[in-house]
Amino acid sequence: MKRALLFFCFSLGVSCAPSERDLQTQAQAFLDEYTVKFKALYYLSALAEWASNTNIVEGDTTNAHNTKIANET
C-alpha cells in the first residue's frame, strides 16, 4: 500500500514537471526582458555620464548628482 502511494506521488510529480522546452522558453523570455531593461538603463546611464563630462559649470554639482542617481538605478 505504501509503495503504491509512493509510486502514485512520484508519477504525479514527474507528470507535472515542466518540460525541457518549457524551461528553455521561460529562460529565453526572462533573458529577452532583462536585455530590454538593461539596454534602457545602460543608455540612461551613458547619457548622464556624457552630460556630466561635457556640461561643466564651475560650482555646479547637479551633473555629478544626476550621474550618481542614474548609475544607482
Residue 70 is inside which H or E element, if any? helix 62-72
User: Total structural domains in the chain?
Assistant: 1
pLDDT tens digits, one per residue of 13-70: 656 667 889 999 999 999 999 999 999 999 999 998 998 888 888 888 887 888 888 8
Report if residue 34 sits inside a domain.
yes
Residue with cell 515542466: 18
Report if residue 12 sits inside a domain.
no
Report if residue 3 sits inside a domain.
no
Other CB atoms within 10 Å distance of the CB of residue 70: 19
Residue-level pLDDT at 39: 98
Pair 48, 67: CB distance under 8 Å = yes
Residue ranges making up the domain that contains 61: 17-72
Report if residue 8 sits inside a domain.
no
Report if residue 1 sits inside a domain.
no
Residue-level pLDDT at 44: 92
Residue type, position 29, single letter: A
Residue-level pLDDT at 15: 61
Residue-level pLDDT at 18: 73
Report if residue 9 sits inside a domain.
no
Residue-level pLDDT at 34: 98
